[in-house]
Structure 1
Amino acid sequence: MTFKTSFVALAVFAALSQSAAAQDAPDSSSNNKNKDIEKITVTASRMDKSPSSIPNTVTIIDRAQLEEQFRTTKDLSTIIGNLAPSFSPSRQKMSNTGETLRGRPPLIMIDGVPQSNPLRSGGRSGQTIDPAMIERIEIIHGANAMHGLGAQGGIINYITKKPTGDSEQVASFDVTVPDSMKSNGLSFGASYAFSGESEFIDMIGSVSYRNNGVYYDANHNVVGVDTTQGESMDSQSTDFFIKLGHNFDESRLELMVNHYTADNNGDWMPVAGDKPNGVPTGAVKETQPWEAANNQVTTTSLTYTHANIGGQQLNLQLFNQDFKAVYGGGCFDSFYDPSFEGSDQVIQCGVGSKGESLYYEQSRNASVKWGLKSSLIAKDIAGSGIDAAYGVDLFRDTTEQDLVKTGFSWVPESTYDNVAPYLQLDYDLIENLTLSTGVRYEHAELSVDDYKTLWGAGNKQIAGGSATFDETLFNVGISYKITPDIRVYTSYNQGFGMPDIGRILRDGKSFPGDNPNIDDSLALTPIVTDNVEVGADYQGKYLSAKFAYYRSATDFGSRLALNGDGFYDVKREKSMIEGIEANVTAYLTSNDDLGMNIAIQQGEYDSNGDNKVDTDLDGANISPNRINLFWTHNFDNDMSTRVQANYYMDRDFKNAAGNKYAEFDGYTTVDASFSMPLYTGTLSLGLQNLFNKDYFNYYSQTMGTNDRYFKGMGRTATIGYTLPF
């Protein structure tokens, strides 16, 4: 049995057609929603600004928008791409390697706590929290140094829920079935949340469980599995979240803890495809001969705020993140060591390129981050009209990656220490003209013990030591309100990041010479990214619009390059990305919004070291060009519908000689969803890939190999119910 496309489309669009009968209200609900957005302060700005006062492109995804997206998917990468199209389309896997914002990796945070791992990325920073715990998502587009390390493409800050002040409990359930209606494709989830307060404490907490079934493509074939980087199908995840707070007269103390786990069942093995002939990677029911890929992440923060310390607002945040990830295994030349040939400790699996007897092996990554963020915010200093935010950030990351079976160290234990004082100023030069400027000084030290690279990476003995880095980063922006509804702005921001240190340390080619040490490798040099942006916003009663042009450049960037074993190496090269972003929303009636989001970008890197960019960045390093369309309708009885389409444009990738080395055959997917009140709760129905489009995803087309040439998921239907009590 399958869903009939004509029936589904007719039902959805028949519901939408009723919007023609809606009557205009004196003040549209859409405009009220935008007014509510303006009341939100963007915590990631460090100055608690409203979105329209920041001289950068800012996207706020509020809870109402999240609820709309949850009807069809719980994948955060998909949701962000639907609403901020300069973000790469989701790979629909456990790994988010290659998912970029404006063509560069973003800094992902939970309540300001970094989730991205600066020393050994690993591609799992998008899998650290269940979406049910999120109140809103703040996205600041473009490189910046507001939170220090890692925001080369921008900042994505997940803001968790806050206590409501009322005693409340909410239970949610959802079930997703594929178009094939096969039982092993069934996915389901459940969450329970509570909120309340007493005289001394307020609290909010939740627990969730999600079970993902097998994914099917549009032809009802099992989507190929990624047993190396990590697979989200045939897996379970759990999340425990709690936030406790106490309000004093002028201050607040708050503790947040989130513990997230994701575990693949390990019951499916890949079947190699044939990319040149368009044959996708498949899957067969077979137990994996290694520990299945998994994630375990605990994020903790203790925050203290005081509204009046000498007339200034004080913010202090002590945080910790404990990250552990196991990656899937394989039969790799990279992991071979002659001392284990024929050993009972490993399982033999094949013959290598040089006739050696290979064995199954896999890696695991462990990272512990500690940090302290401090800031003081002073408004209208001495009546001058100047607002200031200043403070110092302290950060430490200790990371190691080893091999599970043999115990060899792949990435030696490395410690990154960072101290960063900063100052940010806002000044109204004249009425409606605001100057924003700031400076941040980064002092960082990387410490690495003596170690030896794996046999396959040269078996090199590398002398450890400490490398010190110092960078002064600047930003300046001007924002001018031409009218109360129209704003123009321009800005220059510098972002600071490190290349994936783990990939560099484990690659023997990073250390030439007879007696190499970490001081010999220029590849460890930090990345400084310059981002220039020009934009304009319009917010009227019947229309809102935003447009931005940006240019992002670095003289010594970090490009991911796929090697023969399917692992990524880091290439340090000059790169430049430029693009435009635009979104327009028309408020057709008090109940109807019709909108379009556009993201167009082009990026190149220097392939021959002549300090000139000449070769297109590939799909692991830049997002596709795309247009997102949507139509939402709210009925007077609290029912609502949304239809959205994602159009990914064709693209050719050319080398320095002008020859095409890769191509992307674009596609369009459509989602539709509906919600209605039922008894005291809310019932929702969502259809992802409504027309059951058959396609290879962006990553697979541009970076895939025969083992990673994956189809996208076919049509799925999700029914959910949320019950407050």
Structure 2
Amino acid sequence: MQFKNSIIALSISAAIFPTSAVAQDSDIEVITVTASRMDKPVSAIPNTVTIIDQEQLNEQLRTTQDLSTIIGNLAPSFSPSRQKMSNTGETLRGRTPLIMIDGVPQSNPLRSGGRSGQTIDPAMIERIEIIHGANAMHGLGAQGGIINYITKKPSGDNEHHVSFDVTVPNSLDSDGISFGTSYSFSGESENLDMIGAVSYRNNGVYYDANDEMIGVDTTQGESMDSQSMDFFIKLGHDFDQSRLELMVNHYNMENNGDYMAVKGDKENDIPTGAIKQDQPWDAANNQVTTTSLTYTHEDIAGQQLSLQFFNQNFEAVYGGGCWSDFYDPSMEGSDQVTVCGTGENGESLYYEQSRNKSVKWGMKASMMASNIADSGMSIAYGLDIFRDTTEQDMVMSGVSWVPESTYDNIAPFAQIDYDLIENLTLSGGVRYEYAKLNVDDYKTMYGYGNKYVEGGNPDFNETLFNIGASYKITPALRVYTSFSQGFGMPDVGRVLRDGDNFQGPNPSIEDTLALDPIVTDNIEFGADYQGEYFSSKIAYYRSSSDYGARMVDKGDGSGSFVIKREKSLIEGIEASVTAYIGDNDDVGVNLAIQNGEYDSNDDQKVDTDLDGANISPNRINLFWNHNFDNDISTRIQANFYMDKDFKDENNNVYANFDGYTTVDASIAIPVYDGTLSIGIQNLLNEDYYTYYSQTVGKDTRYFKGMGRTATIGFSLPF
């Protein structure tokens, strides 16, 4: 693959447009990135970093509560939101990111399921840290980068905060009204500080630009016609030089199950629709509890200690269907199932759905010594221990689809920063990953080969490296480069449940290469500038994997994907410029361009474009913020998604994306001691199909995007 924008062109652009790691205010130096494991300032990290702070998050929440949409608005190399409960196909720089809450992994390495984006309400978040590109500092699953949701902290004062918001569609139909509310309190005593919050959200149905109801995804999960609740609490105690903190977040999202899909016709441009009809199965839902106990000490033999124990309990129920893949002759005539049709061979088909259950336990321990003996050298070292036990079963019949699998991982690491000369910082690190998978003997489902597979305990080990350099040409202008590796597993559940992955008379999980780890190499060159009148950034990256994992739709209408293991290569450019016009106006542009290919014929040469389930579109984001002297603030933003053709090894177009443009506008007005906000999403009422629907969707998932909506919100601290 030849990427048109070469490193030479990048260097010229960097010279013409000095750039910034994050388009933020001039206090960028004091912002530290906890996801770096060394609490580094942004300007010391040799990677592209995006920090979405509380002010930016609040601006976005005026128009949408969807975290995927918010991240895409501010970090355009992230895929457009599917506007569904599922986030399958939402990638960062074309690869899956590791999503965390306060450093606790939300992604499910054994069986992804596409629900890691629905584990916390935005009302609980203080800021979002995004490290772009493969990263080994948190180990498993960060091939595309890290998205770390940092939860709110106690304010130090006894304070309460309430918020309300209502969203109405352009049609003003009552069934399309959504509303939400949250309440939080914060305070401290002599021995304890705490913050707690609860939120509730009720989503109506969604309408497109033609005031037609958007189709429902009754299988992977639907966010419209749903309810969500979140309970959050954080307790802390400060000792003389240390702190102990407990965080618990429980999130529950449930579809109401009141609508069924009406099949579309992609070839004839007929979108998937919806009708009011009870679903004949349990509606899709997500239930996630994240717990973290963290102890930090500022001075142990001159070093800083960070010790975190965490747990996540995750359960996702997916919607149902009447598919031959789920047929099992042993269930013929059983009162456990409901017959819904007849198969090709006269067999009785029945409604079925799956449930994914995962329990994670882990520990992260690290020590950091800064500026050792005034040498300019800092070192962080530690050990991560992780266990994930996952199973996917069928709700109606109780049959196991993915056998219970336990993944154990232990990873020591060390990271060094060295100020070699003034303004030049070199960094390097190594992480050793040892992983073991434990699966008992099992049988694949009847529709997935009906094969007996011998279990086992395959183990894997990888040594990952990263090296980087950051040089400040001036206090405002920096250039950097880095090489880093990411480690991950393919979706183990998809591999185990598919009988085609196990060949021969006595198949065993020990024999399949489909379970081998994914190692991603990421090279990056960039520059950033943070000045009084403008800030900007530009970065070129190249991400490659000799044995990657590509998701491919099974094509049976169930929404199931299989995993293909192939060589892959992704290249891209990210850039942004923000101009500070006077004291009241910020005007900016963000750009993300990427190309990705995979090896379709196993000749170790990439030759076919990655599709929309694996790579995001090229796009430009524009924005204008204005602050009035009376504390009223406004924001207008536009997202331009560019057309794209996807070509195979013979240069034939196998899929295409018809780009579109959406515009959002919002205003925040001080009212008494609170803030009244009004936001309009898709201001121009653009009529479009979502990116995922156009590039991957079938007739049953050919969804329009949301039309114009208006949101009115009010928040009040007291």
The TM-score normalised by the length of structure 2 is 0.96
Structure 2: unaligned runs, 5 residues or longer: 1-21
Distance 1:56 1:493 in 2: 9
Per the TM alignment, residue 33 of structure 1 is displaced from its structure 2 partner at its CA by 5.6
Counting only pairs closer than 5 Å after superposition, residues 104-253 of structure 1 correspond to structure 2 as 104-253=95-244
Q: SS of the residue aligned with 1:260?
A: strand
Cα deviation per residue 1:44-72 (whole Å; 9 max; x = unaligned)?
00000011110000000000000000000
Q: Is residue 590 from structure 1 mapped to residue 583 from structure 2 by the alignment? A: yes
Query: Could you say which residue in structure 1 is the equivalent of 2:688?
Result: 695
Aligned with residue 442 of structure 1, among 433, 439, 444: 433
Cα deviation per residue 1:74-110 (whole Å; 9 max; x = unaligned)?
1000000000000000000000000000000000000
Aligned with residue 517 of structure 2, among 526, 529, 550: 526
Query: Could you say which residue in structure 2 is the equivalent of 1:514?
Result: 505
Counting only pairs closer than 5 Å after superposition, residues 593-604 of structure 1 correspond to structure 2 as 593-604=586-597
AA aligned to 1:399 is T
Query: Could you say which residue in structure 1 is the equivalent of 2:11?
Result: none
Counting only pairs closer than 5 Å after superposition, residues 259-338 of structure 1 correspond to structure 2 as 259-338=250-329
Q: Is residue 723 from structure 1 mapped to residue 716 from structure 2 by the alignment? A: yes
Query: Could you say which residue in structure 1 is the equivalent of 2:391?
Result: 400
Aligned with residue 472 of structure 2, among 469, 477, 481: 481
Query: Could you say which residue in structure 2 is the equivalent of 1:635?
Result: 628
Query: Could you say which residue in structure 2 is the equivalent of 1:76?
Result: 67
AA aligned to 2:667 is F
Q: What's the C-alpha RMSD, in Å, of the aligned pairs?
A: 0.9
Query: Could you say which residue in structure 1 is the equivalent of 2:361?
Result: 370
Distance 2:23 2:569 in 1: 39
Q: SS of the residue aligned with 2:650?
A: coil
Aligned with residue 605 of structure 1, among 598, 620, 633: 598
Distance 2:151 2:323 in 1: 40
The answer to whether the Cα contact below 8 Å between 1:37 and 1:60 also exists between their aligned partners in 2 is no
The answer to whether the Cα contact below 8 Å between 2:23 and 2:578 also exists between their aligned partners in 1 is no
Counting only pairs closer than 5 Å after superposition, residues 706-721 of structure 1 correspond to structure 2 as 706-721=699-714
AA aligned to 2:595 is Q
Displacement over 4 Å in runs of 4+ = none
Query: Could you say which residue in structure 1 is the equivalent of 2:90?
Result: 99
Cα deviation per residue 1:180-202 (whole Å; 9 max; x = unaligned)?
00000000000000000000000
Q: SS of the residue aligned with 2:566?
A: coil
Query: Could you say which residue in structure 2 is the equivalent of 1:573?
Result: 566
Distance 1:520 1:353 in 2: 34
Q: SS of the residue aligned with 2:447?
A: helix
Q: SS of the residue aligned with 2:73?
A: helix
Change (3 A) 1:450 1:212: same
Distance 1:352 1:231 in 2: 27
Query: Could you say which residue in structure 1 is the equivalent of 2:12?
Result: none
Distance 1:637 1:375 in 2: 47
Query: Could you say which residue in structure 2 is the equivalent of 1:27?
Result: none
Q: SS of the residue aligned with 2:76?
A: coil
Per the TM alignment, residue 313 of structure 1 is displaced from its structure 2 partner at its CA by 0.4
The answer to whether the Cα contact below 8 Å between 1:173 and 1:722 also exists between their aligned partners in 2 is yes
Per the TM alignment, residue 385 of structure 1 is displaced from its structure 2 partner at its CA by 1.2
Query: Could you say which residue in structure 2 is the equivalent of 1:645?
Result: 638
Per the TM alignment, residue 289 of structure 1 is displaced from its structure 2 partner at its CA by 0.2
Distance 1:624 1:34 in 2: 28
Per the TM alignment, residue 357 of structure 1 is displaced from its structure 2 partner at its CA by 2.1
Q: Is residue 35 from structure 1 mapped to residue 50 from structure 2 by the alignment? A: no
Distance 2:599 2:324 in 1: 29
The answer to whether the Cα contact below 8 Å between 2:635 and 2:667 also exists between their aligned partners in 1 is yes
Distance 1:580 1:120 in 2: 31
Query: Could you say which residue in structure 1 is the equivalent of 2:663?
Result: 670
Distance 1:656 1:525 in 2: 26
Aligned with residue 410 of structure 1, among 381, 401, 404: 401
Query: Could you say which residue in structure 2 is the equivalent of 1:658?
Result: 651
The TM-score normalised by the length of structure 1 is 0.95
Distance 1:615 1:664 in 2: 16
Structure 1: unaligned runs, 5 residues or longer: 1-30
Per the TM alignment, residue 326 of structure 1 is displaced from its structure 2 partner at its CA by 0.2
AA aligned to 1:148 is G
Q: SS of the residue aligned with 1:78?
A: helix
The answer to whether the Cα contact below 8 Å between 1:63 and 1:136 also exists between their aligned partners in 2 is yes
AA aligned to 2:47 is N
Query: Could you say which residue in structure 1 is the equivalent of 2:371?
Result: 380
Aligned with residue 624 of structure 1, among 592, 602, 617: 617
Change (3 A) 1:626 1:507: same
Distance 1:78 1:37 in 2: 24
Per the TM alignment, residue 381 of structure 1 is displaced from its structure 2 partner at its CA by 1.2
Counting only pairs closer than 5 Å after superposition, residues 39-54 of structure 1 correspond to structure 2 as 39-54=30-45
Q: SS of the residue aligned with 1:484?
A: coil
Per the TM alignment, residue 350 of structure 1 is displaced from its structure 2 partner at its CA by 1.9
Change (3 A) 1:512 1:424: same
Distance 2:173 2:249 in 1: 34
The answer to whether the Cα contact below 8 Å between 2:26 and 2:530 also exists between their aligned partners in 1 is no
Distance 2:345 2:501 in 1: 23
Percent of matched pairs sharing the same residue: 75
The answer to whether the Cα contact below 8 Å between 2:26 and 2:532 also exists between their aligned partners in 1 is no
Q: SS of the residue aligned with 1:707?
A: helix
Counting only pairs closer than 5 Å after superposition, residues 536-555 of structure 1 correspond to structure 2 as 536-555=527-546
AA aligned to 1:698 is Y
Per the TM alignment, residue 171 of structure 1 is displaced from its structure 2 partner at its CA by 0.4
